[in-house]
Structure 1
Amino acid sequence: MVRTRRIAAAVLAAALVPATAALFTSSQASAQTSEEIQAEIDARHADLEKVIEDYNAKREELDDANALIAEIQEQLPALETAGLAAQDRMAEIASTAYTGGDFAMVNSVLAGDPSDFADRLMYLSNLSDAENQALQDSLAQIEELETRQAELEALQESADEILGEIEEQQQEIEDEIDSLEDEYADAYAEENPEPDWGDYSGDSAVVAFAYDQLGDDYVYGASGPDEWDCSGLTQGAWGAAGVSLSHNTAMQWDETARISRDELQPGDLIFYNDLGHVAIYIGDGQIIHAPNSTTVVKIADMDVMSIDGYGRP
């Protein structure tokens, strides 16, 4: 019973931390740099973690409450049966102890409010100790039944409401994070406009294809049409020229002839980092490659990283 009341009180008195206290509106982020917005995001994540942990605590309380509801529901049928049996025993005890006109008095006593029944038990002083104990046990069973029924109703009424509030607050948190990330993306794009790569005027179909992919996203394992990893880009570029390459840097190394740095021509491949990366040479000491997931397909200096060698399909 102590656990029941503790959980019921915790659930009924749960004061959820208002999400609005931690909310950060997009208007506040206007005119901020991406670094400033990132700092706000980091700070809000720290605040929101505390709020979410508070919500998690409420969920734990509700889990306990739900378990208790199931327990009460399981016990209610037996208690209800015990309550009915108690009423029958009370009538039997009274009818045995009293006869005639006295029985009418007993009925009047029993019909009163159970809360002050003890005061009226004085009228039944001639009941035997055993009968009196049976009567008290019956009243205790009825009281337990009524208490558990009240607790069950309170828990059921409050559980859905609190869960709904939790879900609403968490949705507000998720919306805030989305808004801040949108603000960051907009600010970063404004601060880092996509370079004007110009138009390719050469005659290499491989380089022409690679130029058309500038600005596309890097995605591990992707081979187009709008997302690439390094070997997927070189495979696609040479595929546009009618040459089939595997989608793997080490395999492309085996599928190409070794050439020297001085022999490089637009379209040739440059291999890097123990065959962990490959790029397309476009001339003038530059390459087009898909570097990693933090950036996009772009032009870079050919010596951007440690070179393993050069290949021509």
Structure 2
Amino acid sequence: MRTRRIAAAIAAVALLPATAALLSASQASAQTSDEIQAEIDERNEDLEKVIEDFNAKREELDDANQLIADIEAELPLLEAASLEATEALGEFAASAYTGGDFAMVNSVLSGDPADFADRLMYLENLTSAENEALAANLAQVEELQTRKSELEALQASADEILEDIEKQQEEIEAEIAALEEEYDDAYAEENPPDYSDSNYSGSSGVVEFAYAQLGDPYGYGDAGPDSWDCSGLTQGAWGAVGVSLSHNAAMQWDETARISRDELQEGDLVFYNNLSHVGIYIGGGEIIHAPNSSTVVKIVDMDYSGSIDGYGRP
């Protein structure tokens, strides 16, 4: 039967490789950038397999969708035939009632449509022609129910397969995105920027101090002179021009005046991540900051994290 063949073909799609088996967590701190790149390449191959497996099953899914459309096109005719058959059965029942056989006919009509044909054997008093007409009418009702059931099963199967494939694709793409971030971190750690020739030509003493610290290592709780954390660097830079700030990003927020992005000037502070990080604006949409223990004091785009809380001027 075509419906069963299509349903079996659709079910085969569910055997696509489980994403969980394809993916494995990686730790940037334990891998080189080359190793992470190799893993990215491997995950891209996994993604291609999922997509190609889907493409290979597309014909079966297309067949299923065509069958769904065929059944949907048949339904109006089947429903009309079923209605006509039901009316004929009603007329038959009414005729039987007037002849005293209503209880016997009711025993046929009261059961599930699939059982109607079996019940006919008990109506021995019906003629052969009456039996054939009644069976044909019952078959029309049963055919409608069968086709509706086939339609519901095919639609559910097709929807489930598409959702499964989309989920696999999304999970692998998310893993690749995470690996690419790890690659960037590992590469940056392996190839720290050379700031030996970095010179500041502006007039801000705060930015000039920050430039002098480029390439210094990050240190938790450090405020110089050779290592820094984020608020230690901003504290040291503003301290170099005689402005006292606390060694804490949230406190520095309270110690600065709120300004807009358009009002930013060299030396102003940019706050991030619910006031857990702070950097020094140096102009041109960039900041100098001490990011974390995996890297050094460096220059980055101001929007590097996408979670800016606001801007402050001491």
- 1:164 is matched with 163
> Alpha-carbon deviation of 1:176?
1.2
Superposition CA RMSD, Å: 3.3
Task: Quote the Cα distance in structure 1 between the aligned partners of 2:198 and 2:149.
Answer: 78
> Alpha-carbon deviation of 1:85?
1.0
- 1:18 is matched with 18
Q: Render the CA deviation track for 1:30-89: whole Å, top value 9, x for unaligned.
A: 332222222222233333322333344565544443333332222212111111111222
- 2:284 is matched with none
Q: Render the CA deviation track for 1:177-235: whole Å, top value 9, x for unaligned.
A: 122222233333333445568379xxxxxxxxxxxxxxxxxxxxxxxxxxxxxxxxxxx
- 2:181 is matched with 182
TM-score with structure 1 setting the length = 0.52
Higher radius of gyration, 1 or 2: 1
Describe the SS at the equivalent of 1:73: helix
- 2:118 is matched with 119
Task: Quote the Cα distance in structure 1 between the aligned partners of 2:126 and 2:115.
Answer: 19
Task: Quote the Cα distance in structure 2 between the aligned partners of 1:100 and 1:138.
Answer: 21
Describe the SS at the equivalent of 2:101: helix
> Alpha-carbon deviation of 1:129?
4.0
> Alpha-carbon deviation of 1:146?
0.7
- 2:257 is matched with none
Counterpart residue type for residue 74 of structure 1: A
Counterpart residue type for residue 18 of structure 1: A
Q: Render the CA deviation track for 1:216-265: whole Å, top value 9, x for unaligned.
A: xxxxxxxxxxxxxxxxxxxxxxxxxxxxxxxxxxxxxxxxxxxxxxxxxx
Task: Quote the Cα distance in structure 2 between the aligned partners of 1:182 and 1:114.
Answer: 61
Change (3 A) 1:109 1:144: closer
Contact kept? 1:8, 1:151, Cα under 8 Å? no
Task: Quote the Cα distance in structure 2 between the aligned partners of 1:135 and 1:9.
Answer: 35
Task: Quote the Cα distance in structure 2 between the aligned partners of 1:36 and 1:113.
Answer: 64
Task: Quote the Cα distance in structure 1 between the aligned partners of 2:141 and 2:121.
Answer: 20
Describe the SS at the equivalent of 2:178: helix
The answer to whether 1:105 aligns with 2:104 is yes
Q: Render the CA deviation track for 1:257-288: whole Å, top value 9, x for unaligned.
A: xxxxxxxxxxxxxxxxxxxxxxxxxxxxxxxx
The answer to whether 1:73 aligns with 2:72 is yes
Contact kept? 2:117, 2:135, Cα under 8 Å? no
Give the unaligned 5+ runs of structure 2: 200-314
Change (3 A) 1:103 1:196: closer
Task: Quote the Cα distance in structure 1 between the aligned partners of 2:38 and 2:26.
Answer: 14
Task: Quote the Cα distance in structure 2 between the aligned partners of 1:112 and 1:43.
Answer: 59
- 1:239 is matched with none
- 1:235 is matched with none
Task: Quote the Cα distance in structure 2 between the aligned partners of 1:91 and 1:5.
Answer: 34
Task: Quote the Cα distance in structure 1 between the aligned partners of 2:47 and 2:54.
Answer: 10
- 1:150 is matched with 149
The 10-residue stretch of structure 1 (38-47 or 49-58) with the greater mean CA deviation from structure 2 = 49-58
- 1:132 is matched with 131
Contact kept? 1:94, 1:103, Cα under 8 Å? yes
Counterpart residue type for residue 4 of structure 1: T
Task: Quote the Cα distance in structure 2 between the aligned partners of 1:6 and 1:78.
Answer: 24
Describe the SS at the equivalent of 1:101: coil
TM-score with structure 2 setting the length = 0.52
Contact kept? 1:90, 1:135, Cα under 8 Å? yes
Contact kept? 1:22, 1:47, Cα under 8 Å? yes
- 1:274 is matched with none
Change (3 A) 1:112 1:176: closer
Residues 121-270 of structure 1 mapped to structure 2, 5 A cutoff: 121-125=120-124, 127-194=126-193, 198=197
Task: Quote the Cα distance in structure 2 between the aligned partners of 1:128 and 1:24.
Answer: 72
Counterpart residue type for residue 141 of structure 1: Q
How many percent identity over aligned positions? 68
> Alpha-carbon deviation of 1:165?
3.2
- 1:85 is matched with 84
Contact kept? 2:82, 2:144, Cα under 8 Å? yes
> Alpha-carbon deviation of 1:15?
4.6
